[in-house]
Amino acid sequence: MKICEKCGTLMILQKEDNKLYFVCKKCKIKIEMKKSNCILKQTIKKQKPLILKNNENIEQLPKTKKKCEKCGNNEVYWWSRQTRASDEPETRFYRCTKCRQTWREYS
């Protein structure tokens, strides 16, 4: 992406004569794309979701301050999942770092 220096509009890429140009649709400015203004593309691998089985990997979860109603401890692990329709908010799960009590909250 490149922003037009004259009007601030997002410029588009256009190919002419086997060359690439940034073109502003508003002011019609055309700038040849060179290595110095080249866009880099980076692919990020998706991580597999962390699946909790019998408290395995629980220490890898983030922690937050929240009171456990069972033991009164003030630190819990937390994670979230989409358990309802996609247009509804995620469900947040909490697990006490001391007694391992697990509960959920809905928005």
Q: Which residues lie below 8 Å from residue 84, measured CB to CB, with a gap of 6+?
A: 91
Measured from the Cβ of residue 22, the count of other Cβ atoms closer than 10 Å reads: 20
Is 17 designated active site? no
Is 88 designated active site? yes
Pairing mode, if any, of strands 63-65 and 75-81? antiparallel
**Looking at 32, 56, 88, 105, which residue is catalytic?**
88
Instruction: Give catalytic residues, as residue numbers.
Output: 87-88
